[in-house]
């Protein structure tokens, strides 16, 4: 996938230079196989529970070849290698502990799957794009507004393709709901509702008691922490207990809001801006908070209201539509709204040229160099709304965000929370 001048890929050139007189049909791409020159060479960074789902989704694509895993935890990298080698029937998947070595030495890799904990998403994305890789990053894809800005700037500077893992933007039910809003069938939309997770928006700053640190090859604790402040090792963090911690997590609002805010903002045509007005609520989770966009539409953060996770609901003067995971079809105020459900989805696909498959959309864009559905700007602007809501809850006061300057109006304390110090050497 690396290009030479004249439109000939480096791999195609090298293959031609050393090709034998007789080659197998599979090598040429016959019989349904993808020729090596057209394959996307993929690597992984920090693949755990959620990442295993993404990995299995990705390697099923015929034009993708997964070749290497980088993870600070030996147990995880060996587990991924086992899955990949079993899938391909070989022992070729390489393993790396240090992300710097991985990115510096694997110039053959076109794209990376990043499914670390939240603290690493933006930094790993920036490092990978600087190394010439396209990026698919799990959500929440930034911990601060400044991190999101860095992802956007790096993608532009290095000409990289970026997709955040808000896969519902590529699922038929959510697409149909968005199309009802876009086509005006709900009338004038005044309110959208975004599902947020349980727990608290105000995450803990307490540290767990220290435990003996494992050998570096077993678990590189310094690299696992990455840009976060140093703290003593505790296995609970590594096993998933990092959630609910200020240094590691975006709280109840970011956990699902990373999905649902992006969904709402894209549906409203506001994928390249953020909410401007934030007002705190008594509920520690942020349940019931209403943020407003410059066009007057309000987005209400809700824990309940759907019989499924990561739900959205759009309300207009002519009706409403709601959708969440597990719905067989979106729910609507009138059955007539979904009378042409199949056509709504088909017309969207024809109009945009996008696959109704989030990882396929990413790989198609790696080849075409077109923007993905959940590109870096969609990620950054929806996550800025997440961060604005979090900062509002932390400070417990009303805030106004200037979406052009990307700073809060007249509030120096809130603006200081738009970025965090990053521990050397893990800095953007």
Whether 166 shows a pLDDT value over 70: the answer reads yes
| Tokens encoding 399 | 């805030």
Residues 371, 377: Cα–Cα separation, whole Å: 10
| Beta-bridge partner residues of 177 | none
> Which bin fits 224, alpha (ψ -120 to 50), beta or left (φ > 0)?
alpha
User: 232 and 207 in contact (C-beta within 8 Å)?
Assistant: yes
User: 239 and 428 in contact (C-beta within 8 Å)?
Assistant: no
Percent of the chain exceeding pLDDT 70 equals 92
Identify the CA nearest to 39 among candidates 67, 13, 62: 62
Q: Cβ contacts of residue 319 below 8 Å, gap of 6+?
A: 185, 186, 187, 332, 333, 334, 337
What Cα–Cα distance (Å) separates residue 68 from each residue in 82, 320, 362?
11, 46, 19
Whether 272 shows a pLDDT value over 80: the answer reads yes
Q: Predicted confidence band at 1 (pLDDT cuts at 50, 70, 90)?
A: low
Residues 187, 182: Cα–Cα separation, whole Å: 10
pLDDT recorded at residue 32 = 61
pLDDT recorded at residue 136 = 98
Q: Predicted confidence band at 249 (pLDDT cuts at 50, 70, 90)?
A: very high
Percent of the chain exceeding pLDDT 90 equals 91
Domains of the chain: 5-167 (3.40.50.720), 168-201+249-416 (3.30.360.10)
Residues 226, 16: Cα–Cα separation, whole Å: 42
Helices (H), 226-320: 235-236, 251-267
Each residue's pLDDT tens digit, 295-344: 999 999 999 999 999 999 999 999 999 999 999 999 999 999 999 999 99
User: 142 and 148 in contact (C-beta within 8 Å)?
Assistant: yes
pLDDT recorded at residue 125 = 98
pLDDT recorded at residue 370 = 98
pLDDT recorded at residue 37 = 76
Whether 2 shows a pLDDT value over 90: the answer reads no
Residues 64, 42: Cα–Cα separation, whole Å: 7
Q: Predicted confidence band at 16 (pLDDT cuts at 50, 70, 90)?
A: very low
- pTM comes to 0.92
Residues 135, 372: Cα–Cα separation, whole Å: 11
Whether 154 shows a pLDDT value over 70: the answer reads yes
- Kindly report the number of other CB atoms within 10 A of residue 19's CB atom: 11
Whether 84 shows a pLDDT value over 80: the answer reads yes
Residues 236, 245: Cα–Cα separation, whole Å: 12
363-369: average pLDDT = 98
Q: Predicted confidence band at 27 (pLDDT cuts at 50, 70, 90)?
A: very low
User: 278 and 401 in contact (C-beta within 8 Å)?
Assistant: yes
- Kindly report the number of other CB atoms within 10 A of residue 355's CB atom: 16
pLDDT recorded at residue 34 = 77
Whole-number average pLDDT of the chain:
93
8-33: average pLDDT = 44
């Amino acid at each position: 996938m690396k290009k030479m001048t004249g439109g000939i890929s480096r791999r195609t050139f090298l293959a031609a230079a050393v090709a034998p007189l007789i080659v197998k049909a599979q090598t040429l791409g016959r019989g349904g196989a993808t020729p090596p020159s057209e394959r996307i060479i993929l690597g992984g960074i920090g693949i755990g529970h959620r990442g295993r789902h993404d990995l299995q989704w990705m390697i099923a694509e015929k034009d993708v070849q997964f070749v290497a895993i980088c993870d600070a935890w030996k147990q995880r990298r060996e587990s991924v290698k086992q899955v990949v080698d079993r899938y391909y029937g070989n022992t070729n998947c390489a393993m790396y502990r240090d992300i710097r070595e991985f990115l510096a030495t694997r110039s053959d890799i076109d794209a990376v799957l990043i499914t670390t904990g939240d603290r690493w998403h933006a930094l790993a994305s920036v490092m990978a794009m600087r190394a010439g890789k396209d990026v698919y990053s799990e959500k929440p894809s930034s911990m601060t507004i400044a991190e999101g800005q860095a992802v956007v700037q790096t993608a532009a500077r290095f000409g990289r393709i970026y997709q955040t893992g808000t896969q519902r933007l590529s699922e038929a039910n959510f697409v149909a709901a968005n199309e009802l809003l876009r086509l005006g069938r709900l009338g004038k939309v005044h309110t959208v509702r975004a599902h947020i997770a349980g727990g608290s928006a105000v995450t803990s700053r307490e540290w767990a008691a220290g435990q003996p640190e494992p050998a570096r090859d077993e678990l590189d604790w310094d690299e696992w922490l990455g840009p976060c402040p140093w703290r003593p090792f505790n296995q609970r963090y590594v096993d998933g207990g990092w959630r609910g911690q200020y240094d590691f997590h975006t709280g109840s609002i970011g956990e699902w809001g990373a999905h649902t805010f992006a969904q709402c903002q894209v549906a409203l045509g506001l994928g390249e801006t953020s909410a401007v007005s934030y007002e705190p609520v008594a509920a520690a989770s942020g349940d019931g908070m209403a943020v407003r966009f410059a066009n007057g539409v309000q987005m209400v953060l809700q824990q309940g209201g759907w019989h499924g996770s990561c739900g959205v609901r759009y309300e207009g003067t002519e009706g409403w539509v709601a959708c969440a995971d597990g719905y067989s079809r979106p729910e609507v105020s009138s059955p007539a709204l979904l009378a042409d459900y199949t056509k709504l989805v088909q017309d969207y696909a024809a109009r945009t040229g996008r696959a109704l498959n989030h990882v396929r959309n990413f790989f198609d864009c790696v080849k075409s160099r077109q923007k993905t559905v959940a590109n870096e700007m969609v990620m950054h602007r929806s996550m800025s709304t997440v961060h604005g809501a979090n900062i509002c809850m932390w400070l417990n006061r009303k805030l106004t965000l200037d979406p052009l300057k990307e700073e809060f109006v007249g509030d120096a304390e809130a603006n200081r929370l738009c970025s965090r110090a990053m521990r050397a050497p893990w800095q953007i």
